[in-house]
Structure 1
């Protein structure tokens, strides 16, 4: 379950059309052929879960079961369901979800279908407020949409467009990226036995980059590549996670998005995983999912990426991410490196 970002707290929802207009900004993209479950408290959305629609009964039961499990784990007692697509696509899954949620003791505040700028209620039968032709909703210039834009939120056309935000910049010279990467890897091999110095060099590069991004500056390609190579040492990657409370999840999201886009693809696993971690801390489950897909497409057995995927699927709340004693984790990492410097040696991908 994605937790609504704090930026959305100031957006007041006065009617159902406001909710429909805000959802794309909460997800980061306009959903298509989807079922979205929302939790709403005090006229504000607190959390979202999005599922792909399916017509296969077994897949439908599995996805709805996951929805029930996530809401139950998070002690959600009421939900609002929004299906996106035609009636033939949406209605079967809304019916199954409604029955399963009610059986689990989770009430349905409202269930609607959205398609081509209109919504239809599955609950309301009053034609004066829910006409047969549907209720038109302004998805772009409504008050909630405008407030979301002012709060720095965006809604891309679809999930594919969100995934494309992690692709290399069009102007990036891939030959130059490869040349710099080979040069940095050669230097890393020469220093491969400098466990303690390699660890601190990587940690210092990351904090410097976080301060640079926090100041509104972009990273140059060489800086991103050097960080990417340093992250092949797992303690360096893990140390980066301990900096989230200090610099804030949003700054980390911006940094690791940049590094993921600018490194050679074979080095993108670690920064994409760190991006997923930061996005989960930020309450952006959609971005976290995209980042984990990118990381696991490169390294399918990466332990941290797999653990974060399980946490994301289970609806791990951002508060749980910050509940850890990150200062203690950092101290343990430093003690481990001092005791066993080889633990911080760079582990370069094959061929580099």
Structure 2
């Protein structure tokens, strides 16, 4: 689920809604159905009250899965207090039409009004609600999203629409080349040193050292500087400790969300893949907090691909599946958790120590 744009964009025609979707999702959807949820308004013919959020799912491969998908849409929109929605299906008619029909029926049963329902394919759209052939030709209505004012406004506001979801996933793919070789060597050294320190059995303060390293990395990221291979390797090692990972969340607010997202994106890509679950989960959390549902989903999948049982990623996936609104996360007092986490780290110091992946 993706929250609405935080800039004023006028959406009046079907082509406007189609043009804005890729910027809300972060990529151009294919073989998908998108629901755009609007704030309630006293005027049933107006969308002036604003777009609240959008949600996208893949079209089902099997027709027998369509009723469950339709019910999922209805439950998600109902849970978030939606009264009015726009539906857009992407793909050929044989694939889109049964899904649109099922979703419209489920929304109607849930008391949600469908403003319009469109099908988009090859630069044309068809409306399932407009019976006028002069307005909506049976051959489809051509549109040009590239010249649409709504798309231009989104670009001006800094939003990006990638070619497809694969392009979004590529943002978090492991880095290669010389950087990968340097980080791999640095990670071996960091793991060897960590094992030596753990074997000393002294009262080393793993928690505060780890928190300081995270803060230093955020400082460098905020200044527009990349991390060294050694810094990436040590952060990968430190973040395997639950309390150090949680401590990173207490710095939300001390540094802006964009700085956090840039750091956790960099670490997700640059750490050795076996160490990617913690930074990917932190990235997913920040993306959820900022309303970037597609990035949150891709980051969660990256974390779970490394460790299918990684609990923080599992919780975020559940939040995404349930349509948890970003406002819920934004209301959390992260700085207020710092003392509590520090106290727990003092009581259970083992949970502040690195837990190295097998083979490291």
TM-score, normalised to structure 1, is 0.94
| Structure 2, gaps ≥5 residues long | 40-47
Mapped to 1, the partners of 2:226 and 2:184 lie a distance apart of 20
In structure 2, the partner of 1:290 is: 298
Is 1:273 aligned to 2:281, yes or no? yes
Mapped to 2, the partners of 1:194 and 1:39 lie a distance apart of 56
In structure 1, the partner of 2:43 is: none
Aligned residues: 350
Change (3 A) 1:80 1:329: same
TM-score, normalised to structure 2, is 0.92
Kindly state the Cα deviation for residue 40 of structure 1 after the two structures are TM-superposed.
2.9
Check conservation: 1:166, 1:257, Cα contact below 8 A: yes
Mapped to 2, the partners of 1:173 and 1:244 lie a distance apart of 28
Mapped to 1, the partners of 2:197 and 2:147 lie a distance apart of 56
Kindly state the Cα deviation for residue 169 of structure 1 after the two structures are TM-superposed.
3.3
Check conservation: 2:183, 2:232, Cα contact below 8 A: no
Map 1:318-333 onto structure 2 (within 5 A). Answer: 318-333=326-341
Map 1:1-352 onto structure 2 (within 5 A). Answer: 1-6=1-6, 9-41=7-39, 42=48, 44-54=50-60, 56-192=62-198, 193=201, 197-352=205-360
Question: Is 17-26 or 171-180 further displaced after alignment?
Answer: 171-180
Kindly state the Cα deviation for residue 266 of structure 1 after the two structures are TM-superposed.
0.2
Mapped to 1, the partners of 2:207 and 2:233 lie a distance apart of 16
Mapped to 2, the partners of 1:160 and 1:206 lie a distance apart of 30
Question: Is 300-309 or 149-158 further displaced after alignment?
Answer: 149-158
Question: Is 254-263 or 220-229 further displaced after alignment?
Answer: 220-229
Deviations 1:208-252 (A, max 9, x none): 222222233333333222211110111011111222233232221
Mapped to 2, the partners of 1:292 and 1:273 lie a distance apart of 6
Mapped to 1, the partners of 2:339 and 2:83 lie a distance apart of 40
* RMSD over equivalenced CA pairs, Å: 1.7
Mapped to 1, the partners of 2:180 and 2:222 lie a distance apart of 27
Check conservation: 1:14, 1:43, Cα contact below 8 A: no
Question: Is 14-23 or 142-151 further displaced after alignment?
Answer: 142-151
Check conservation: 1:12, 1:43, Cα contact below 8 A: no
Mapped to 1, the partners of 2:238 and 2:5 lie a distance apart of 31
Change (3 A) 1:5 1:208: farther
Kindly state the Cα deviation for residue 43 of structure 1 after the two structures are TM-superposed.
6.0
Kindly state the Cα deviation for residue 194 of structure 1 after the two structures are TM-superposed.
6.2
Kindly state the Cα deviation for residue 167 of structure 1 after the two structures are TM-superposed.
1.1
Mapped to 1, the partners of 2:149 and 2:252 lie a distance apart of 32
Kindly state the Cα deviation for residue 163 of structure 1 after the two structures are TM-superposed.
0.6
Question: Is 65-74 or 257-266 further displaced after alignment?
Answer: 65-74
